[in-house]
Amino acid sequence: MIFIGICDDEEMYRAQIKSLCSAFFDAQNQECGFVVFTSGEDVLAYQGEKIHLLFLDIEMPGVDGLEVLAKLHWNDLFWRIVFVTSHKELRWDTIDLKTLAFLEKPLDKIGVETCLKTVLREHQENIDISYRTFQGIDHVRLDRIISVQARGNYVNICFEQEEIPGYESIKAIEGMTKGTTIIRTHKSYLANLQYVKKVNTDGLIMTNGTIVPIGRKYFYAVKEAYFSFIKKATIDRNN
């Protein structure tokens, strides 16, 4: 199930976006749900299902779209954002790891469908990782994992609020996540580039405040992977 959020203070645009999205997902035979917001304040107060794509108006009374973006930067409930506005001069203010695109009003079918195809593809690439625990086999979506640390014969899988031991080798986890945003940074660590806040001499500063070390032999590969990820997730995507 894909959840689409629509935030605009004008009912006309809310209805148009919902109609275009519904037609696209019907053609793809893909289940989707909608969450409609009429203000930035409503978005910031949201505590429901994870929204895979939020269509967000920039100019709204009260909290505007750019303020919403700043406060959603590390919020896992909102995965990707498409900004909609009449003011193309604001385009570069919207660039962020969450930002998928910038669409000018009035919206056109091709622009909306291009965004939906991209988020659907990225959603399908967000694979399930399986690992053994005390209780048996568990599964987790790739985009929930912040880092993985080897601990002897098992690993600690780090999430936003907790760590769970998994009875897999770090090499096995690395094999499952090859070609994704999870990369090897050290003989004992993997890190998810989606959660890197900063790179410095101590290692990777993650969004939950932890530091993932970078081994000497991995340093240049990690830097290259990180900056390639940033470029793809901002400049390339927004072009």
Report how far residue 133's alpha carbon sits from residue 96's, in angstroms, rounded to the nearest whole number.
36
Task: Tell me the torsion sign for CA atoms 149, 193, 123, 11.
Answer: positive
Q: What is the pTM of this model?
A: 0.72
Q: Which amino acid, one-letter code, is at 47?
A: Q
Q: DSSP label at 140?
A: E
pLDDT of 123: 82
**pLDDT at 218 exceeding the cut of 70:** yes
Q: Confidence band (pLDDT; 50, 70, 90) for 236?
A: low
The mean pLDDT of the chain is 89
pLDDT of 74: 73
Domain architecture of the chain: domains with CATH = 2-125 (3.40.50.2300), 128-237 (2.40.50.1020)
Contact 73, 98 (CB under 8 A): yes
Name the nearest CA neighbour of 16 among 123, 109, 139, 124: 109
What pLDDT digit, counting tens, does each position of 127-166 carry? Answer: 888 888 878 898 888 988 999 999 888 899 998 778 888 8
H or E element at residue 27: helix 11-27
β-bridge mates for residue 196, sequence order: 206
Token readout for 170 is 């770090």
Q: Confidence band (pLDDT; 50, 70, 90) for 103?
A: very high
